[in-house]
Amino acid sequence: QQQVKQSPQSLIVQKGGISIINCAYENTAFDYFPWYQQFPGKGPALLIAIRPDVSEKKEGRFTISFNKSAKQFSLHIMDSQPGDSATYFCAASGGGSNYKLTFGKGTLLTVNP
């Protein structure tokens, strides 16, 4: 049972465009929703995270939008740059094991110059 579903699997965007990656979750006990960024040959690193008491969080060009009723959240990358080319993972945690992260399957983002 996949508790966090991520789409699309891959995404190609032109420089300056907007990249949008979507995730949906099933477990209503989840209360922490981070996004991780992974460059080739490296470990994932936390990019931005949100809790369900807010509908949006923005850090620079990266924004998380959160829809609690739909159990969906998304990452928007504004003014996408070639340096943003990486794999992005959404994740969720909460409930009794609030330190365990459940990851989506990842989105490979390519930003063309």
Partner 1 sequence: NAGVTQTPKFQVLKTGQSMTLQCAQDMNHEYMSWYRQDPGMGLRLIHYSVGAGITDQGEVPNGYNVSRSTTEDFPLRLLSAAPSQTSVYFCASSYLRDRERPQYFGPGTRLTVT
Compute the distance between CA of residue 77 and CA of residue 99 in angstroms, rounded to an integer.
27
DSSP string, 6-43: EE-SEEEEETTS-EEEEEEE--TTEEEEEEEEE-TTS-
Q: Which of 11, 27, 49, 81 binds partner 1 (CB under 8 A)?
A: 49
Question: Minimum distance from CB of 6 to partner 1 (Å)?
Answer: 8
Q: Which residues contact 69 (CB under 8 A, 6 or more apart)?
A: none
Q: Which of 63, 89, 92, 109 binds partner 1 (CB under 8 A)?
A: 89
Sign of the Cα torsion 107, 95, 30, 35 reads: negative
Nearer Cβ to partner 1, position 15 or 51? 51
The phi, psi pair for 3, rounded to 5°, reads -85, -20
Tell me: does residue 96 bind partner 1 (CB under 8 A): no
Under rule CB under 8 A, residue 37 binds partner 1: no
Smallest separation, CB 11 to partner 1 (Å): 15
Of 23, 93, 109, 111, the residue at the interface with partner 1 (CB under 8 A) is 93
Query: Which residues here bind partner 1, judged by CB under 8 A?
Result: 6, 9, 32, 34, 36, 41-46, 49, 89, 93, 98-106
